[in-house]
Structure 1
């Protein structure tokens, strides 16, 4: 009886420990990227609820892949082309998940007058003028900023890809803990992430961001942290003012804006310190 009880306890501990964390990571990987995971991975609303804790880790993976693509193509082409290909690879890996959110937010906020009309426009799969303009400006600003970093030091885009893809996702996911979810429909992108968040979720999320920032010089890390917090707070206020909360598209827009701000912060720092 004692042996059976110990076996059950050990199994339960494993399920709630490393194995469960691995399953949450795989669920996050499947939800936020196009990277395939084993079909045997158990999926449930509960797991998806808590998968946001690994949003920053997913950002690291995307950033590393973009960096490897950049390193490969910088051997063959000028930095302007290598960075363009790396950005495209990021779009393919994520399925332009966050870029879609950015476009929807600008379409909705630009064309809607009431909360209901804004939400309806954001839900519409068609791309409007505001959204298209936001996408062009965002992608163009990413490209020109990363090219400028490469002009200073060919290795700076590597730091930019890894760090900014991570902390921008941490900023976006952290909004879940601060604002109400406002879309009531069942087919939204992020509704499963809008319920039952825990302190462990936010703890793992924030720790990931802090650890990644630690690879930067202290003054640069603090600058990136401050600008990311400012963007996060500004986006949260903006969404709350416009909608009374956030939607999945709002999280995607926050990620994009925080990523771009991170690149600009790194470029400003690099221009002044010439490293």
Structure 2
């Protein structure tokens, strides 16, 4: 595959998944839904770019002598700002719908409501707290390990979102998920392989095989649980659920790395 094609696909993924001002090519519509069959493999690469920005802030803040907790907060804040809280919004809507709806249609209705309820607020608080706490714990062991884990988690968790979109049909006929369509089995597998390869290359040298297997394994469990839950409660997937999967898999990955991390 040509380098120009890869760069174009990563750019398309970044335009959809972040607010990074990546210009569209002459033949591209910057506002059109992404062609997931084409760019699925580039989604974890785009995630790595977002994670890299957070990792740079993490390392920079630590190098300036700021407390680990402050550095971790700034790193998570960077990732949230770069994505426009896209995945956090999906997590909140999913928590409100799954927690507050008594029927499939009511859950989907709640998920479409832009207002955040108690379930969504709690989900956001716990997601932010867990990511900050996990990075804080990794920083205490090694800034390099923490930075690499953040990049790997941001990459693999977005590949998990691609797998969810392929595993389940759209739960509604309209919306972002239905407009984008399903990536297709081949594209979803390529996305997962790219995410897993990046995670392996980043985590094995820094933290070991055990940490890598634990992190990927916990991410797979989170994806499996959300796939089953979403299918049971709304009969498919939405873009909000994909965002929730990204959040949960990122947390699961960081947790897996921290479980096996050892100080030098």
2:79 to 74, 86, 90: 90
1:136-155 CA-partner distances (Å, limit 9, x unpaired): 01101111111111112232
What residue ranges of structure 2 are gaps of 5+ in the alignment?
Answer: none
Name the stretch that deviates more: 46-55 or 261-270: 46-55
1:27 paired to 2:12 = yes
Identify the residue that residue 176 of structure 1 maps to in structure 2. 165
2:244 to 222, 236, 253: 253
Identify the residue that residue 229 of structure 2 maps to in structure 1. 238
- Could you tell me whether the CA contact under 8 Å between 1:168 and 1:254 is conserved in 2? yes
Partners of 1:39 and 1:172 lie apart in 2 by 23
- What secondary structure, in the 3-state scheme, does the structure 2 residue paired with 1:155 have? helix
- Number of residue pairs the alignment of both structures matches: 255
Shift of 1:213: 2.3
TM-score by length of 1: 0.86
- Could you tell me whether the CA contact under 8 Å between 1:228 and 1:262 is conserved in 2? yes
2:258 to 252, 258, 267: 267
- What secondary structure, in the 3-state scheme, does the structure 1 residue paired with 2:147 have? helix
1:225 to 200, 216, 219: 216
TM-score by length of 2: 0.90
Identify the residue that residue 193 of structure 1 maps to in structure 2. 180
What residue ranges of structure 1 are gaps of 5+ in the alignment?
Answer: 1-15
Identify the residue that residue 202 of structure 1 maps to in structure 2. 188
Shift of 1:101: 0.5
Aligned-residue Cα RMSD (Å) equals 1.9
1:165 paired to 2:154 = yes
Larger radius of gyration: 1
Shift of 1:46: 6.8
- Could you tell me whether the CA contact under 8 Å between 1:50 and 1:197 is conserved in 2? no
Partners of 1:46 and 1:139 lie apart in 2 by 28
Partners of 1:274 and 1:19 lie apart in 2 by 41
Partners of 1:46 and 1:82 lie apart in 2 by 33
Partners of 1:238 and 1:88 lie apart in 2 by 29
- Could you tell me whether the CA contact under 8 Å between 2:17 and 2:83 is conserved in 1? yes
Shift of 1:39: 4.2
